[in-house]
Amino acid sequence: MAVGLATGSDKPVRRKRMMAGLNAIPNVPVLTHEGESVRFYDDLVKDRVVTFNAMYMSCGDSCPLITQNLRYVQDLLGDRAGRDIFMYSITLQPETDTVQALQSYAKLFRVKPGWKFITGKPEHIEELRFALGFYDRDPVVDALYSQHTGILRFGNERLRRWAGCPAMARPAAIVATITSSMSLPDASTATI
């Protein structure tokens, strides 16, 4: 950090964040839309199949459309959501997207158990954003929150397998991609 400050550049800090990738998911404290205080890695990710998307409530059209699309994904997952696959939407604006605001947002979309909206201290959310790959190498582009909301990342933490797809892909295609690439039984053949 001192190198970045001494040269007037944050490149060493950004490079360190970018190099961390999904192999080092931060165990920062966060809050869920349900008001739970949890450690991100230990309580939400460790030994689980998870999905991550970045969002913020004031983003206009794209975040509500993505949230609705992921709600269809949750419907297709059925009771596997919260049992086999855990969904997390991480706000990019924790200063305004409070627990209460995210709770209202989740209620608006009729989010079911197994999907949590995450907020927390801005520095912790920023650390998560970089570690989960919701950034751009160009700092000008990176400053535009809308550039980080169109991707759904997913993975099997136990197997250290990570992938992603467009968050607006067909819900059935998203479910098929998650189950096939994450070594889970196919949703159409699994007993539920």
Domains of the chain: 29-181 (3.40.30.10)
Q: Quote the pTM value.
A: 0.82
> What pLDDT is stored for residue 184 in this prediction?
58
Region 160-175 average pLDDT: 94
Q: Rounded to an integer, what distance in angstroms lies between the CA atom of residue 149 and that of residue 129?
A: 11
Region 71-78 average pLDDT: 97
Q: Rounded to an integer, what distance in angstroms lies between the CA atom of residue 10 and that of residue 108?
A: 39
> What pLDDT is stored for residue 143 in this prediction?
80
3 pLDDT more than 70? no
> What pLDDT is stored for residue 185 in this prediction?
54
Q: Rounded to an integer, what distance in angstroms lies between the CA atom of residue 98 and that of residue 100?
A: 5
Q: Rounded to an integer, what distance in angstroms lies between the CA atom of residue 68 and that of residue 87?
A: 13
Query: What mean pLDDT value characterizes the chain?
Result: 85
Rounded to 5 degrees, φ, ψ at 87 are -105, 135
Region 102-120 average pLDDT: 98
